[in-house]
């Protein structure tokens, strides 16, 4: 009798462990952060993203992480761990782990996962610990994906999807900029200017609802600097860069210069936002930026000023 009771207890205990078991992920291990993106992208494969899922706007997030690794911006330790001192790695946490937690909370990611906690409350690991407003913004994106799961592709549906995604994306960036200012101290002055300029480059492409899918983001990261900038770099020519990489780097640095003049920057964004409220103008600017990503002939700021003066 006692043996039967012990056996029953053992079986119940094991069933409980199976039901409540979760897989632990360490987002500070590069390969595991890539896995976070793979799970997130595969879990959000819906009709409008196509059979191959390459139109999924989360594809660009993964490409960016890969670029951060190859260019040294993740500051990998032993070629595997993303340094907690990496500004880029910290900012990316808010574009990988944060949306993952939101998707998991909504049941889009069905398997439960736990994240390694490094003891820094800026890097939440469970839904209830994360910034409420930020999580609600990402929730809206994933709730929209659930709503349109089986709907066929249409231009209007894609634009709505991108808008919800950009709301989450920009919320993550804006919070990250405030939280990780201290990590810029580990970068050279030139790299600081490039890093903050890149964040504000994203401000620009968010206004035009730029699609961060595989095909549109890949050319951008092939054209960005292949290494971190140093104090030995003297614009406009960067040693070892291709002509395209020079143009792109100068574009991002010029965006940072414009941003430093807050009055001018806000006026510039206001003009751009007004212009993009017209669908025809927004599509025109979008196409011009896509063309720029493939064949840059000047800096992006010069192109945008030209576009702002255009009547579409």
Q: How far apart are CA 95 and CA 89, in angstroms?
A: 10
Nearest in space to 98 (alpha carbons), one of 45, 153, 141, 158: 141
Position 202 scores a pLDDT of 95
The 10s digit of each residue's pLDDT in 146-162 is: 999 999 999 999 999 99
Position 89 scores a pLDDT of 98
Position 152 scores a pLDDT of 95
Contact 84, 245 (CB under 8 A): no
User: On the CB side of 143, how many CA atoms lie within 13 Å of its CA?
Assistant: 8
Q: How far apart are CA 205 and CA 287, in angstroms?
A: 11
Position 226 scores a pLDDT of 96
- Per DSSP, the residues of 43-109 read HT--GGG-TT-TT-TTHHHHHHHHHHHHTTTT--BTTTBPPTT-HHHHHHHTTTHHHHHHHHHTTSS
Low-confidence ranges of the chain (pLDDT < 50): 2-20
């Amino acid at each position: 009798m006692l043996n039967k009771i012990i056996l029953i207890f053992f079986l119940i205990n094991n069933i409980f462990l199976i039901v409540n078991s979760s897989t632990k992920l360490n987002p500070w291990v590069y390969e595991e952060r890539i896995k976070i993106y793979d799970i997130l992208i595969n879990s959000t494969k819906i009709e409008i993203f196509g059979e191959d899922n390459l139109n999924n706007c989360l594809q660009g997030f993964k490409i960016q992480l890969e670029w951060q690794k190859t260019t040294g911006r993740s500051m990998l330790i032993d070629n595997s761990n993303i340094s907690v001192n990496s500004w880029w790695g910290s900012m990316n946490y808010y574009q990988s782990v944060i949306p993952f937690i939101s998707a998991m909370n909504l049941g889009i990611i069905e398997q439960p996962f736990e994240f390694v906690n490094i003891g820094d409350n800026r890097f939440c690991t469970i839904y209830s610990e994360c910034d409420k407003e930020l999580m609600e913004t990402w929730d809206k994106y994933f709730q929209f994906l659930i709503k349109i799961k089986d709907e066929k592709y249409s231009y209007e549906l894609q634009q709505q999807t991108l808008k919800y995604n950009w709301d989450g994306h920009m919320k993550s960036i804006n919070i990250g900029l405030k939280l990780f200012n201290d990590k810029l101290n580990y970068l050279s002055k030139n790299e600081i200017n490039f890093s903050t300029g890149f964040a504000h480059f994203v401000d620009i492409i968010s206004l035009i609802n730029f699609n961060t899918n595989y095909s549109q983001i890949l050319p951008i990261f092939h054209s960005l600097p292949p290494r971190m900038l140093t104090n030995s770099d003297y614009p406009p020519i960067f040693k070892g860069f291709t002509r395209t990489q020079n143009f792109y780097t100068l574009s991002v640095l010029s965006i940072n210069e414009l941003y430093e003049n807050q009055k001018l920057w806000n006026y510039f964004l206001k003009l751009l936002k007004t212009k993009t409220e017209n669908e025809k103008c927004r599509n025109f600017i979008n196409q011009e930026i896509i063309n720029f990503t493939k064949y840059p002939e000047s800096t992006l700021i010069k192109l945008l000023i030209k576009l702002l003066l255009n009547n579409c």
